Structure 1
Amino acid sequence: MKKPLKFWDLVALEIGMTIGAGIFVYMPIAYKSAGVGTIVAFIFAFLPMAIIMINVMLLGSTLPTTGGTFKYGAFLFSPKVAFLGLWAYLFGAFVGLFPLNALALASYMKGIWDGISVLPVALIILAFFFVVNLLGLKMASIVEIVFVALLFVAIAIYTVPGMSKIDSRNLEGLFSKGLGSMVYASALLTFTFAGSNAVIELGGEVENPRRNLPLSVLLSLSIVLVCYLLMAIVSFGVGKEIMINGNLNDVASNYLNGFLFYVFAFGGPILAIATTINATYMWGTRSLLALCRLRVFPSKLGLVNRRGTPWVLLTIIWLLSSIMLLSVGESGLNLFAAFASIGGIAVIVPTMFAVFRLKKSETLRKMAPAIVRRKLFIFIPILGV
């Protein structure tokens, strides 16, 4: 396959997959538990996910391949466990993550344009990003870079003016809610750092993956952490009382007016969700494509067009997601969320166990980054598990 993904394509993809609806949904919930201690909880949530991502990227840089989510677990750990994990992952994406994000995006859009109907708009959103990805990975990557750039503009509009409106008294008592509340908030916020692991699905289409995969993940996760901390400090410092029953748009309305408010309302939550949908389409076909090439599925399902897009698989994903959305409707938000979270957890397990093989196999040890050959390396996959 072609290798159209360069370093900054990966960074945009990883940020787009990571900053999604979660930060706008989970931060107010975490605040109700940990108060301003949610700021510290973000750091605690970042650490385990960073360890998991380091493990995943060690595999990706050692054995870059298309469909790595399945291949690493299958060939380095257990084919049966990897196969079950992959199906849970893909099931969670197709009938959970896609309809969930499309519905959430349409709901946010309705908050700006009250006259729209949520379900038809959600279906149009799925169709739009399907067409974008049908035009090729490079086109989808360009759209992702543009959307992520606009997302950063929206975050800057929220945080920079908000800094001058912070009341320092609102940020006192970081640990006043107790350790239990902090742990709960950290566990909840861990999901806001998930998503970057999806790039191992595209390892065979990455330029210089040995360098670009690990470096891009380290950079993107660090950028995401800084963005989250700035947004949390502004949200709690400006709107401590508002955050109890409100959201980030309610906080922003205290110091943003007119055009700037609408730029944040549109460019913040709406583009955050849009980048996640686009990125999920980008990686969603790759493990299925690997299974087609291994003859587990009929090879004709893995046909690619002249732009390198596995168009049959992409079409199936779009149709399944749209049918699920039509079948369950607007009331299915909680159901979609449950499916999405289950899939995300299931696929990580075989991948984490596969990392142990990097140390045990002499051939893989020679191919892997230098850190694998250090004595203390074994603690990295142990912590990941």
Structure 2
Amino acid sequence: MTTPTRRAAQAGSGALLHSLFRTKPVDRIVAEGGQGEGGELKRSMSLLQLTLFSVGATLGTGIFVVLGEAVPRAGPAVVLAFVLAAVTALFSALSYAELAGTIPVSGSSYSYAYATLGELVAWVCGWCLLLEYAVSVSAVAVGWGSYLNEFFDKAFHFTMPAAISDSPGENGGIVNLPAVVVVMIAMVLLLRGTSESAIANTIMVFLKIGVLLFFCAVAFTAFKAGDVTPFAPMGWAGISAAGSKVFFSYIGFDAASTAGEEAKNPRRDLPLAIVLSLAIVTAVYVLVGLAAVGAMHWRRFALSGSEASLARVLDESTGRSWPSMILSLGAVVAIASVVLTVMYGQTRILFAMSRDGLVPPVFQKVSPRRSVPVANTMIVAAFISVLAAMIPLGRLVDATSIGTLFAFALVSVGVMVLRRTRPELPRGFRTPFYPITPLLGVGFCVYLMVGLGGVTWLVFLLWALAGLAAYFLYGRRHSRLAAAPEGGGPPDSGKGAPAAGEGEP
């Protein structure tokens, strides 16, 4: 007698699981590309601008602080640690490159997960990215004030009062105004338009690369062979430990993938931009690392303090203060560039989620005159400003890294799923050595996630639970995919017209 009831319950459970893991057809994702309420995004970004967007998001605070923490672990072999971390990042970068060339839309790993792993997984991925982007850019903004104060001190012998330059509870701080200022500067640039933001970022990236090359030129004049002997005093264990430390200096190479709907030729340019940016950043890191350990003995890095490690190298190499003043100015520019590009990425992920109905429609409203999501940008800037001005972020910043690794792993899985389900799709780039490369990408990400501390996992799980509550209270009820016929919209024929501006492989 209970058989019909059980069958009904099983049918209901099956329908629920189907609705949670329904995928959005690739052709539909591409066809909707660029469209938002009130207007559409403008395809204006060239290969150079896309590449420098990823470089701008990656080459920031990491290189200015990471050496002081990594060199004591590996000695001069920190150079190999950067290479090891780059190889680890490369596995994920190659998967990003394939999906960016196959699904050239805004949303990055969120959109890729929606097309391959289903709505719930995509939501969790997007939700984790929102935490990682918002908190990381807030932390970067907080650091901007510190470097600005350092520059003022060296150039003008003046520093801002702690009450307005430190976070509450730190050194007598009340509100961190410099952090708010740099976020507002980035907001103004983003509101002026994507093309203008890309031009500003291009200028800043060239400036900070120039400053780091200046550091190398000065440091190499004091290079001493004895400082790099023995080359690997801690052995492979030290190189591996330093590699884990410097890996997070590579986070940001995927920034170009959030510009899929504003690239002139996304199928060709997005994969190239991702791989080129990783190559450029790796070359800069290796050069800076080699110059630093050659100019100052590696044991002295543990005494110099992480934030001042590069400045300390220049001070000891020249005996003068003006080189480190230039370096401080470069750090100010570098951090401003990171704030700009990461904020851009967050607004585009929210734009894609809003277009799918999973977050409120205000985030997809595009200004017809500026071709940018104005309200979206202002809301993101306001939220980040409050975080940066009022909250000492501390260990919470490290906890956000797990969200990035989670997204990286999903992208590698997505490549394998899409190869099986849609092998006929045109791909601007194919991951080499498939399926070994994406499998290694998943493996390395899981390895690094398992090695993170308990606090990191706790923050990740709490944030994920909050995201699930938001999904069931709002996202699932407003999903446009659920409202479409059978939850899938138009038939996924595999022959949908490419988005405007796409090139063929």
TM-score range, shorter chain: over 0.9
Q: Is the 8 A contact 1:37 1:173 kept in 2?
A: no
Moved more, 111-120 or 31-40: 111-120
Question: Which among 346, 351, 357 is matched to residue 284 of structure 1?
Answer: 346
**Candidates 262, 270, 285, aligned match of 1:213:** 270
Indicate the RMSD between aligned Cα atoms, in angstroms: 1.8
Tell me if the contact between 1:40 and 1:174 (Cα under 8 Å) persists in the aligned partners: no
Structure 1 residues 348 and 370: alpha-carbon distance in aligned structure 2, compared to 1, 3 A threshold:
closer
1:367 matched to 2:426: yes
Q: Does 1:115 align with 2:159?
A: yes
> Following TM superposition, by how much is the alpha carbon of 1:163 offset from its aligned partner in structure 2, in angstroms?
1.3
1:368 maps to amino acid:
R
Answer yes or no: is 1:253 the counterpart of 2:310: no
Give me the TM-score of the superposition, normalised by structure 1.
Answer: 0.93
**2:337 and 2:207 mapped to 1: Cα distance?**
10
Change in CA separation of 1:75 and 1:249 when aligned onto 2, cut-off 3 Å: same
Q: Indicate which of 11, 16, 19 corresponds to 2:59.
A: 19
Conserved 8 A contact 1:358-1:365: no
Determine whether 1:86 maps to 2:115. Answer: no
Distance change (3 Å), C-alpha of 1:68 and 1:218: closer
1:76 aligns with 2:116: yes
Pick aligned residue for 2:192 from 99, 120, 135: 135
> 2:301 aligned with 1:243, yes or no?
yes
Give the drift of 1:195: 0.7
How many residues align? The count is: 377
Letter in 1 for 2:149: K
Query: Of residues 406, 409, 415 in structure 2, which corresponds to 1:346?
Result: 406
Q: Which residues of 2 match residues 6-45 of structure 1 at below 5 A? A: 6-45=46-85
Shift of 1:258: 5.3
SS of the residue 1:173 aligns to? coil
| Structure-to-structure mapping, 1:140-159, within 5 angstroms | 140-159=197-216
Contact kept? 1:133, 1:282, Cα under 8 Å: yes
Larger Rg belongs to: 2
| Contact 1:62/1:364, CA 8 A, preserved across alignment | no
Within-5 A mapping of 1:260-279: 260-267=323-330, 269-279=331-341
1:181 match: secondary structure: helix
- 2:215 partner SS: helix
2:103 to 53, 63, 84: 63
Seen in structure 2, the aligned counterparts of structure 1 residues 261 and 176 have a Cα distance that, compared at 3 Å, is closer
Give the distance between the partners of 1:65 and 1:153, measured in 2 at CA.
Answer: 32
Distance of aligned partners of 1:187 and 1:168 in 2 relative to their CA distance in 1, 3 Å threshold: same
The partner residue of 1:124 within 172, 178, 181 is: 181
The answer for the alignment partner of 2:373 in structure 1 is 310
The structural deviation recorded for 1:66 is: 1.5
Misfit runs of 4+, over 6 Å: none
The match for 2:491 is none
Using the TM superposition, give the Cα deviation of residue 320 of structure 1 relative to its aligned residue in structure 2, in angstroms.
1.1
The answer (yes or no) to whether the contact 2:133–2:343 under 8 Å persists in 1 is no
Q: Which amino acid aligns with 1:341?
A: S
Give the direction of change, closer, same or farther, for the CA distance of 1:276–1:29 in structure 2 (3 Å limit).
same
Measured in 2, the distance between the counterparts of 1:270 and 1:343 equals 26
Are 2:136 and 1:97 equivalent residues in the alignment?
A: yes
List gaps (5 residues or longer) in structure 2.
Answer: 1-40, 153-157, 166-175, 443-505
Shift of 1:336: 4.4
Relative to the length of structure 2, the TM-score reads: 0.71
The whole-number CA distance in structure 1 between the counterparts of 2:43 and 2:130 is: 24
Match of 1:294 in 2: 356
1:189/1:110 Cα in 2 relative to 1: closer, same or farther (>3 Å)? same
Q: What is the CA distance between 1:252 and its match in structure 2?
A: 1.0
| Superposed displacement of residue 69, structure 1 | 2.3
Q: Where in structure 2 are the equivalents of 1:39-54 lying within 5 Å?
A: 39-54=79-94
Secondary structure of 2:206's partner?
Answer: helix
User: Secondary structure at the residue paired with 1:165?
Assistant: coil
> Percent sequence identity over matched residues?
22
Paired residue type of 2:159: G
Within 2, Cα distance between the matches of 1:258 and 1:46?
33
**Residue identity opposite 1:382 in structure 2:** L
CA distance in 2, matches of 1:68, 1:219: 17
2 CA distance for matches of 1:50 and 1:229? 15
SS at match of 2:261: helix
Specify the code of the residue in structure 2 equivalent to 1:367: P
In the other structure, the counterpart of 1:185 is 242
Secondary structure, aligned partner of 1:334? coil
Kept in 2, the 8 Å contact 1:78–1:350? The answer is no
Q: CA deviation at 1:201?
A: 1.4
| Residue 387 of structure 2 is aligned to residue 327 of structure 1 | no
CA distance in 2, matches of 1:368, 1:213: 11
Paired with 2:147 and 2:196, the residues of 1 have a C-alpha distance of: 25
Greater mean deviation of Cα atoms: 222-231 or 142-151 = 222-231
Partner secondary structure for residue 286 of structure 2: helix
Question: Which sits farther off after the overlay, 116-125 or 254-263?
Answer: 254-263
8 Å Cα contact 1:127/1:318 also seen in 2: yes
Return the offset for 1:307: 1.3
- Name the CA distance, whole Å, in 2 between partners of 1:317 and 1:112: 28
Q: CA-to-partner distance for each residue in 1:83-105, whole Å, 9 max, x for gaps?
A: 112111102222x1121001111
Bigger mean CA offset, 319-328 vs 122-131: 319-328
- Per-residue deviation, residues 31-59 of structure 1 (Å, max 9, x unmatched): 11111111111111110101110101100
Q: Is the 8 A contact 1:358 1:368 kept in 2?
A: no
Summarize the Cα distance change of 1:108–1:359 in structure 2 as closer, same or farther, 3 Å threshold.
Answer: same
Partner of 2:397: 337
Write the distance in 1 (CA, Å) between the matches of 2:437 and 2:126: 23
Distance in 2 between the 1:353 and 1:238 partners? 43
Post-superposition Cα deviations, 1:5-56, rounded to whole Å, max 9, x if no partner, equal 1011012111111111112222211111111111111111110101110101
Secondary structure, in 3 states, of the residue corresponding to 1:60? helix
Task: State how far apart, in whole Å, the 2-side matches of 1:301 and 1:175 are.
Answer: 50
